[in-house]
Copies of this chain bind each other. A is one copy, B any other.
Amino acid sequence: MILFQCDYNEGAHPRILERLLETNMEQTVGYGEDAYCESARRLIIAKCGADESLAVHFLVGGTQTNTTVIDAALRSHQGVLCAVSGHINVHETGAIEACGHKVLGMPSKDGKLSSKQVKEACEAHFAEDGPEHMVQPKMVYISNPTELGTIYSKQELVEIRKVCDTYGLYLFLDGARLGYGLAAPDNDLTMMDIAALTDVFYIGGTKVGALFGEAVVIRNNELKKDFRYFIKQKGGMLAKGRLLGLQFETLMKDGLYEEISAHAIALAEKLRTAFEAKGYRYLVPNRTNQIFVIMPDTHLDALKGKFGFAYQQRVDETHSAVRFCTSWATKEDNVDALIAFIDKL
């Protein structure tokens, strides 16, 4: 069986494993203060425009990273604006609320928030006679690509930034799949743009070539203060911090992160061509590594047991939307096999 249901079915890029082997018995200090972490930090800062004031931290996983960043940013009466489909709103078992903060879910069909929505939520709150009866919006959480594979344009990000500045909100970008967003054919954002326009964002490793790991980049000084306390408290301070530093050092060197992201996108595009040829429509069109395609249930039945995919939702009596993902690890042969199978349906 060939799995396409997610982008974390395999281990890590071979270069990463190689480096783990080479350095395995080196003695390094713990908790992210070793030379590999330092080197990875410098490489990330370089990609982000060489702004030396950026703080870079390495954490283990996405839910942990979201929780750590958001809890470090908010006081207990403040909430985070988020598309209803946002990962923190639906797929983290209430981790944000467990830290005491409300996720202020906002309607969204494509997984994105608009600057207009943010503006209206803030206006509604601060214009209130007694705003203290309600949770105060203090942060905007967006993911790029979103959970539905869509991406923000530079213009959209600039506009959200403006609203955040007007109302004193932090802008936090969840980049669990950032590589795949930056590699998308219709993308016009760079990592430098993102570092400049957000208060804090993270570069996903788990889904983009690493065994695990997310690199948090903080521009806003308020959020830098005492951040390591939060990493430790939320369980994200890996004893053998070297493992994280070394993985990101490898990904950020010699264009590896971009190269493997591009690989996933190329294969996703190939798959899209086949789906479109077959006349399938999309639940949400996008050009990143997640394809949300609407298929006849009979076709899905035929795929079962041979190809893994993720069930998303029923569309009508005879059709469902499902997700196929490519990743850094996807083999072209497997994509070809899937295409061949689909062709014959």
Contact = CB atoms under 8 A, between A and B. Distances in A.
Interface string A167-210: 00000000000000000000000000000000000000011000
A136 interface: yes
B10 A30 contact: no
Contacts of A71: 76
A206 B238 CA distance: 9
Contacts of A243: 11, 211-212
Contacts of A14: 24
Interface in A150-165: none
Given A235-B235, A239-B206, A21 B17 contact: yes
Interface string A41-67: 000000000000000000011111001
Most B-side CB within 10 Å, residue of A131, A233, A234: A233
Contacts of A98: 76-77, 99-100, 233-234
B27 A12 contact: no
Contacts of A8: 30, 239-240
B133 A91 contact: yes
Interface string A65-80: 0010001100111010
A317 interface: no
Interface stretch (A223-231, A252-260, A282-290, A297-305): A223-231
Contacts of A63: 232-233, 235, 237
A341 B10 CA distance: 47
Given A97-B101, A229-B132, A17 B24 contact: yes
A25 interface: yes
B20 A11 contact: yes
B132 A231 contact: yes
A108 interface: no
Interface residues of A, number: 77
A9 interface: yes
Contacts of A93: 77, 132-135, 229-230, 232-233
Contacts of A79: 94, 97
A256 to B, nearest CB: 16
A291 interface: no
A235 to B, nearest CB: 3
A10 B31 contact: no
A338 interface: no
A92 B77 CA distance: 10
A90 B21 CA distance: 34
Given A2-B27, A10-B27, A11-B243, 19 more contacts: A3-B27, A8-B30, A9-B29, A11-B24, A20-B20, A21-B21, A27-B308, A62-B239, A63-B232, A67-B235, A77-B233, A79-B97, A93-B232, A97-B101, A98-B99, A98-B233, A100-B100, A131-B229, A234-B234
Interface of A: 1-3, 6, 8-12, 14, 17, 20-21, 23-31, 60-64, 67, 71-72, 75-77, 79, 90-95, 97-103, 105, 130-136, 206-207, 211-212, 226, 228-240, 242-243, 308, 329
